[in-house]
Amino acid sequence: MLKKLTILKTASAAMALVVLLVGVPISAAAKGEANSAKAKFSDPYIGQMQNVTAGYQDTLVHIGREYGVGFVEMRAANPMLDPWIPGAGANIIIPTMNILPDAPHEGVVINLAEMRLYYYKTPFVAPITFPIGIGRDGLRTPVGTTTVVRKKDGPTWTPTDRMRKEDPTLPVSVPPGSENPMGTHALYLGFPTIAIHGTNKPYGIGRRVSSGCIRMFPEDITQMFAMVPVGTKVTVVDQPIKSAWIGNSLYLEVHPTQEQATLMEREGAIPDYQLSEKDLSYIMRVAGPSVESLDWPKIRKVVKERKGYPIKIAEKADIKKAER
């Protein structure tokens, strides 16, 4: 099994690990606290790609947890591998580089499509990021802006009337303890009945399995609970496609939509997906003056495969001209 990494999941920590994605410039987060204190963090991404060689006992679930990556993220990045028996010697891609969501860089930002949470603790350092579990079909996690209204160490789980109607065997409430579905800590949001909390079923992280709440690994919710004060702004978005200029290269990061996530989880692939007008307009807007440099066949391939990590699709127009 892989040795447990006891690191905080920040861009600066990821920089010290094995780099898979060649040619990506080093993030400002790696330049040290002395530099970061002088200016606001402005990089459009965090982290670096990594890879590991699987042992005979490894699964994508266990490897993902070691590196702070959810199940669908791992499945999408490694679609040709059996998630439960990848096999000794298999090369496993760890998608630990993330383009930041198009949302205010403050407080907590949750992107449902990538099933990932970002916490902007201060404006001067890179956000901290964690994988999450979200609401399933029919019980979606709401999109919008709210705040952390209260926190609870040792929450009591109280099933809603709907839950008890669906499953009459559920108790009226579950006190703190190992059987509590909310885990050890909870941050309650302004959205009715919605909280960011732990779980007693860690395999649900990186999946759409909750009744709308945001679930976190037990080791991650304790960090969030300690860091995030009551009153913190929480922005929830649903952005399966993200794009950004990193140095002179334009990168595209495409995740399965919420509808596609279940199929990706089960089969490691999704049906053919055509580039929509909305997708096209977004990519062209980000490309700006270098739109003529876009590699459209590659873009269509990236959108179709939805591997969930940044892939280079263009270079700045002036750079291309200089090479000629």
- Residues labelled as active-site residues: 197, 213
Closest CA to 81 of 100, 61, 111, 101: 61
H-state helical runs in the chain: 11-14, 33-36, 60-67, 71-77, 161-166, 218-227, 258-267, 277-287, 296-305, 317-323
**CA–CA dist 310, 98 (Å, integer):** 7
Instruction: Name the 3-class secondary structure at 109.
Output: strand
C-alpha distances in Å from residue 45, one per residue of 13, 128, 242, 254, 263: 14, 12, 10, 14, 27
C-alpha distances in Å from residue 289, one per residue of 14, 135, 281, 292, 315: 32, 39, 14, 8, 11
Q: What are phi and psi of 253, to 5 degrees?
A: -125, 120
Long-range contacts from 28-32, C-beta under 8 angstroms, 24+ separation = 28/126, 29/125, 29/126
